[in-house]
Chain A
Amino acid sequence: MGWGSASNTALGLLVPLVLALGWELAVAQGWGNGRLLPPPSRILATLWTLAKSGELTTHVLATLGRVALGFLFGVLAGTILGALTGYLTWARRLLDPMLQALRSIPSIAWVPLFILWFGIFETSKVILIAVGVFFPIYLALSGAILGVDRKLVEVGRIFRLSGVELVWRVLLPATLPSYVLALRAGLGLGWMFVVAAEFMGASEGLGFLLTDGQMTGQPQTILASIVAFAVLGKLTDGLLASLSRPLLRWQDSFKPGA
């Protein structure tokens, strides 16, 4: 990490750190009681206790597993259907109107039906997350394929690329920037929907920790869970971004000045 990015990270942390320290000080001085909004030290202590007992690992793994599976299925379905409707006109005419109609249904509205169909356990949770992940991927890929520069496709034709070669050598790289962005948006939705899924009834997971904190009147548990969500969301998004960065170095994109 160079000086530039180190100082950028520091700058980004400045405001939250000042706010956290301010609240810590306020509670320590007795200006606030910290009962409904516990100071950072109490949240960290709760996290530490949960980590020491192994509970945190159990919850994190449960949530992470659901997000991973739901993300995987959502990405698979979104990629296959997005590619089909983007590439084949008849597939677009056949499927796109239905998928667009389904998209206008708020995904959470499916919850009762999913519980009836798949029960209250893992399947319905994973499917809900997959539905959330599916739409941004589907939309972005289908649209990106339709938006590929016709002129580049024509270069492919001049050099007699076969259908598969055209996909591999022109369409795939041309749609990659939008696809990566959609993966990140999809992952963000995956994290959002896992909370809803875990509200549906779960005995473990960070979402369960949220409801548990509410039921037992422990805001520090709720906030510990929120902090864990934030860290995991940021880490997984960072992972996706850094995995895709080498593939997108060619982009001639806007780089804001200092």
Chain B
Amino acid sequence: MLRIDNLSKRYPNGTLALDGIDLEVAPGEIVGVVGGSGCGKSTLLRLIAGLEDPSAGGVSLNGTPVTAPREEIGFVFQEPRLMPWLSIRANAAFGIRHLPKAEQQARAQEALARVGLADFANAWPRELSGGMAQRAALARALVGRPSVLLLDEPFSALDALTRYDLQEHLLELWSYDRPTMVLVTHDIEEALMLSDRVVVMQPRPGRVLTVATPPLPRPRERTDPLFEDWKHRLLAELSRAFRHRPQGEEAFPAAAI
């Protein structure tokens, strides 16, 4: 169980980026976090990963507090962030350096095969397209078989077709080991395609406005009227979050809709 408990983050310049976030994510659950820019959704993810320290509250995974990056928690950034001097295979194996060489190679090759890059194991990152590089980054994050996978707008820099393709692919990858996933995105469709629950955040300071559990059957279709309906509902929530601007006004209670 991934547990986020009254989590707040104030930056040294005084900005309150996150204010009292509470959230529990069950093992194997996929939670999407949506919100406009500046709502603290990336900060939330970085705090869960242990990349930043909270000002108050905390994050725990299966009862132990997360205070620094951990092996069980994988992270996929907005950009692939591959090491340009390593082959794709070596990039995929970057996080499993403690394993014997042969096992590293085998695990990296397996991870690359799962993301459809088996034939590019010896290529350099510069030789890959944006979508392929992001697949390699997924392989790198998954190769250590993390129980939690955090994704920070992982497909936002890609064109629509590649994005749809990778969204489906992510679900397929998830089905192997079923890690808990927290996906930060500004794309409501993406959140609806992938998530069991969608958290809508409001900005300045970042708070949870709504947690929605769309009852959409899987596999989901963008053209499904129910999908469309949920998209509109969440959009309405988002614009409500966006209208909430001034700092220090009444907090919206986190409510299920």
Question: Which chain B residues in 36-81 approach chain A with CB under 8 Å?
Answer: 49, 51, 68-71, 74-75, 77, 79, 81
Min distance, Cβ B163 to any Cβ of chain A, angstroms: 21
Q: Which residues of B contact A254 (CB under 8 A)?
A: none
Known contacts being A250-B84, A251-B84, A252-B84, is A158 close to B75, with CB within 8 Å? yes
Most chain B CB inside 10 Å of its own CB: which residue of A154, A249, A251: A154
Main secondary structure of the interface of B (DSSP, over half): loop
Contacting residues of chain A (77-101) with chain B, CB-CB under 8 angstroms: none
Tell me, yes or no, whether A159 is within 8 Å of chain B by CB: yes
Question: By the criterion CB–CB under 8 Å, are A154 and B51 in contact?
Answer: yes
0 or 1 for each of B104-130: is its CB under 8 Å from A? (1 = yes): 000000000000000000001110000
Tell yes or no: A173 within 8 A of B by CB.
yes
Contact assessment for A152 and B85 in the assembled complex, using a CB-CB cutoff below 8 Å: no
Chain B residue contacts of A169, Cβ below 8 A: 83, 94, 97
Pick the contact of B81 from A152, A160, A174, A176 — CB < 8 Å?
A152
**Separation of A151 and B79 alpha carbons in the complex (Å):** 9
Q: Which residue of A lies closest to B141 (CB)?
A: A158
Q: Does B28 sit within 8 A of A, measured CB to CB?
A: no
* CB-defined contacts of A155 to chain B, threshold 8 Å: 77, 81, 83, 94
Residue of B nearest to A251 (CB): B84
User: When the two chains form their complex, are residues B85 and A158 in contact, meaning their CB atoms are under 8 A apart?
Assistant: no
CB-defined contacts of B79 to chain A, threshold 8 Å:
151
Interface residues on A, range: 10 to 19
Contact of B85 among A151, A165, A174 (CB under 8 A): A174
User: In this assembly, does A192 line the interface, its C-beta being within 8 Å of a C-beta of chain B?
Assistant: no
- A170 interface hit (Cβ, 8 Å): yes
Q: Is the CB of A160 within 8 A of B71?
A: yes
Question: Taking the nearest CB of chain A, how far is it from the CB of B124, in angstroms?
Answer: 5
Please name all residues of chain B whose beta carbon is closer than 8 Å to the beta carbon of A173 when the two chains form the complex. 83, 85-86
Q: Within 8 Å CB of B124, what residues of A?
A: 249-250, 252
Mind listing 22 A-B residue pairs with CB under 8 Å?
Answer: A151-B77, A151-B81, A152-B81, A154-B77, A155-B77, A155-B81, A155-B83, A158-B69, A158-B75, A159-B97, A160-B68, A160-B69, A169-B83, A173-B85, A173-B86, A174-B85, A176-B85, A249-B124, A250-B85, A250-B124, A250-B125, A252-B126
- 6 nearest CB pairs, A to B: A252-B126, A173-B85, A159-B95, A250-B85, A158-B75, A155-B81
